[in-house]
């Protein structure tokens, strides 16, 4: 093949490749709009592999709609901080809420209320009030046990982000008990409290 042919082929390939991710993104958005979340998820994952960074967030949002909040938490890459998009943060909070990561959900929702529109802001406020009611009582020891079990299960199933989120939740809740039930263990990421370095979990 001549050099000229190669140049044209390169041009065609680059154009097709650039458009490919966006086409899958658009197809995913259309599926999502029509409530076909499973199909949307597939499209977003393909777009993600083709190098569309925002597809990761959209895939996570699709997982929320599919009722798979634990996977969504992992796909969002964590529950820390405030994201650039209040709407995506709202879905992140819903994922946390449905995975029973209420403290994390509350923290995210606090950042959503002022940035999202009135409807989303109102929903966020209602969710926050709901979480506050649930967190009002002193947490039972069994509740902390449950969170630590989820932390351990998350680590065992290769979901480090989710595992860390559950341990952080356990650490926060155990810190609210006078006896600090399993607090050190929660701070150390669900492992034995002695002889290990912390995993950055903060109540």
Site for another protein in 122-161 (CB under 8 A): 123, 126-127, 130-131, 133-135, 137, 139-140, 142-143, 145-147, 149-150
Choices 76-84, 121-129, 175-183, 184-192; region in contact with another protein by CB under 8 A? 121-129
- b (16+ CB within 10 A) / e for 56-70: bbbbbbbbbbeebbb
- In 3D space, the residue among 155, 173, 174 whose CA is nearest the CA of residue 163 turns out to be 155
CB of 82 to another protein, least distance (A): 17
Residues with Cβ within 8 Å of 188's Cβ and at least 6 positions away in sequence, in order, are 196, 197, 198, 199, 201
CB of 134 to another protein, least distance (A): 4
Q: Interface residues for another protein in 42-101 (CB under 8 A)? A: 42-43, 45-46, 49-50, 52, 54, 58, 61, 64-71, 87-88, 90-91, 94, 97-100
- In 3D space, the residue among 22, 87, 88, 76 whose CA is nearest the CA of residue 52 turns out to be 22
CB of 183 to another protein, least distance (A): 17
Q: Interface residues for another protein in 32-51 (CB under 8 A)? A: 32-39, 41-43, 45-46, 49-50
User: Exposed (0-12), middle (13-18) or buried (19+): which is 113, by Cβ within 10 Å?
Assistant: middle
Between 122 and 200, name the residue whose CB sits nearer to another protein. 122
Total of residues contacting another protein (CB under 8 A): 86
CB of 185 to another protein, least distance (A): 17
User: Exposed (0-12), middle (13-18) or buried (19+): which is 165, by Cβ within 10 Å?
Assistant: buried
CB of 173 to another protein, least distance (A): 8
């Amino acid at each position: 093949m001549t050099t000229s042919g190669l140049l044209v082929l390169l041009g065609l390939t680059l154009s097709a490749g650039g458009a490919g991710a966006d086409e899958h993104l658009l197809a995913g958005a259309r599926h999502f709009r029509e409530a076909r979340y499973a199909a949307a998820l597939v499209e977003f994952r393909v777009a993600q592999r083709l190098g569309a960074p925002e597809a990761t967030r959209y895939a996570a949002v699709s997982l929320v709609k599919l009722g798979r909040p634990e996977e969504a938490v992992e796909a969002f890459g964590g529950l820390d901080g405030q994201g650039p998009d209040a709407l995506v943060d709202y879905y992140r909070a819903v994922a946390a809420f449905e995975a029973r990561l209420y403290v994390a959900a509350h923290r995210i929702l606090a950042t959503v209320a002022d940035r999202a529109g009135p409807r989303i802001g109102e929903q966020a406020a209602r969710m926050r009030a709901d979480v506050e009611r649930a967190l009002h009582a002193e947490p039972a020891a069994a509740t902390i046990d449950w969170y630590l079990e989820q932390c351990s299960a998350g680590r065992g199933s290769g979901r480090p982000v989710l595992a860390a989120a559950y341990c952080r939740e356990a650490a926060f809740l155990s810190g609210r008990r006078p006896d600090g039930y399993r607090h050190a263990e929660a701070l150390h990421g669900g492992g034995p409290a002695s002889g290990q370095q912390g995993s950055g979990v903060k109540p």
